[in-house]
Chains A and B, each alone.
Chain A
Amino acid sequence: MASLTFERFFSGHRKRLEAIYESSGAKTWSVSFDELARAVWEGINAAASVEPGKIPDLLQKIRADELALALACAKGNERAWEAFSFGYRSAIYEAACSFSPDLGVARELSDSLAAELYGVESGEGPRRSKLTYFHGRSSLRTWLRAVVYQKFVDEYRRLSRLEPLPENPEALAAESRAVSEQDEHRYVKLLSEAVSVTLRELPGAEKMLLGFYYVQQLTLKQIGRIRGEHESTVSRQLDAVRKKLRKQIENYLRKVKKLNAYEVDQCFNYVARGVMVDLDAELKKERIPQEGTGGSF
């Protein structure tokens, strides 16, 4: 199957592209039809090559007005920069402030990014703006937030969210050893194993829901934004997944590890007491995001 080229895309969807051009206000910013069409193509060519039938749908979702503004800014149009500054500068600053409690760092981050968006001159050629990497697939505001976050992690090595460790974990463990060290270790280890096995068997979507809630510590509302659902729906789904997981853990402990009902209860009891030597070790293994985090240009 011949791969889709820009020329074929352009000729096959010219009318739609013209409609997008008219509605985007690109003329106001002195952005030509060809420039806009090429920018759109860059944004959707990967998906369009795989599913050519989805092109009309993809075109409909393009944020043409913001794409036109970004293209004009990348070209150095002063009026476009004025509009960009007043419409989006605060979003950059707010995002920077949310990552760094130090307002000085936040201001430096946002100013530095603003300069990159405006474009720096390189030895190889003319000024190149970071805005050329925006193709209208998402809103400009979300894209800018993503760029700020990436820059923050790249330059300031933000730590991931950590649970505070108990002040004296060994003392806590020693307290429980008085009960029954052997039982405690055994039950906790069994439960840990059961959780690990059942999580692997969970469908990906359910695992991701648990990940956003337990690992990323998002609220139900924030998870709802990602999934396009109301927070009450997310709450019900999370509840259902937790119950399902619990049931599968108990089944594993009973059927695979041959524990009786009392022993299964004991597994959860010891966990509830917060005595988890293994868990402390798990928490110490928390990863810090590496350089070049999630996504690239």
Chain B
Amino acid sequence: MTTQTTDRPAPLSAGWTYAPAPENAAIAAVKDRYLPFVDGGFVEGRGEDAETFNPGTAEVLATVSQSTTDDVDTAVAAARRAYDEVWGPMSGAERGRYLFRIARGLAERARELAVLESLDNGKPIRETRDFDVPTAAQHFFYHAGWADKLQHLGLGAAPRPLGVAAQVIPWNFPLLMAAWKIAPALAAGNTVVIKPAETTPLSVLVLAEVIADAGLPPGVVNVVTGAGDIGSALVNHPGVDKVAFTGSTAVGREIQRSLAGTGRRVTLELGGKGANIVFDDAALDQAVEGIVNGIFFNAGQVCCAGSRLLVQEPVAEEVLAKLEARAQTLRIGDPLDKNTDVGAINSPTQKAKIDELVGSGVAEGAQVWRSSCPVPERGWYVAPTILSHTAGSMRVVREEIFGPVLTVETFRTPDEAVAKANNTPYGLSAGVWTEKGSRAMAMAGALKVGVVWDNTFNRFDPAASFGGYGESGFGREGGRAGMAAYLEDQS
């Protein structure tokens, strides 16, 4: 048979489309109303109810009873009692068994949690299903194993837990951040009062159900609800021994300031402005995939996002062309659609912040490329955006945007790449793309960041410590260093 050009599959642009493939929202079993989880029970908060929205549609998803500062008192007292009477005296092996149960419980409700997380947060179901929920379960499983092995952490023969941990987590990975915080705290023998973000409380409250179903003693884990004022009341509560916060640098700084002189142990996981550095010898197609993953994963609402592309000049034009072509194929839309690559922005506030910063980039002279993929009319969406011809002085290069917005700068020498990458008060992550192993290792050494990804990006594992340099915060989560954040150092 002769093959004629007309027989070839037409390019996508010629009319091929994906059929909608939505996950069934009913799987999330969303309730009308959710209650805080205090001292082993789901109890009415004393505040006025608040609504949580589905960012994909901008519709109300559920009502959530809100905690007050009095409820924070109750929760901290419950956590203290549980620490003194049950969890503190319990053997590590016994604590570990509870954590293994939680890991299993999460896995069993994985599908429900994935859909719920997509509905409440706006991120694509593909991400919640394949990353957020399984990784959360893995975190409990990993830390369960530490509970009876604390003497092997290098912190002394019998390192002691700190007591009651106050934990405040952000909205970008609600369930996963809860797992990152709760699992090591409990494995080390602390009890917990945790506050999810006011826009994404649901998956953490379902995690509380899993915890209750696992039979954890009352008060070991408490979930209070509310906004920043409740978070502030929690971290400043005199009954708390340890504070762990993930969120913005501005709030982290405020927490550090307010806890000055208290002697309270603090770990802060703050903002970032990660550089993704592409050398001219890199496998460019793979680098482009990594750049896309680095900045469009979770619509760029990631503290360690690779938000600054630094590309070596000989390949800059080629990389940018490939990148725009690849980014154009990303599908933006319904977070529950299994084909969606880029979901919704979590809140109108965040969308406004992204829009404002992109506007500032344009005003300062950046060249804008934006995906022409249609964006749903309802809901909060930002199409993938690439700002090229940017300079290190521009706000879009200096400030964390926390959205699907990539800036592009070029460099000539490795030294220049290092200087530009490190020219930020942040220091959370960086990517390096090169086929030369020695250069990758040398770059890894020179970058002032807590996580370096060579020829990959956005890899996470409970066995690998994660955390920042400089104004990206201090302390680590995951691995041995992560456990150290919840124990007295007696070494």
Do the two chains bind?
no
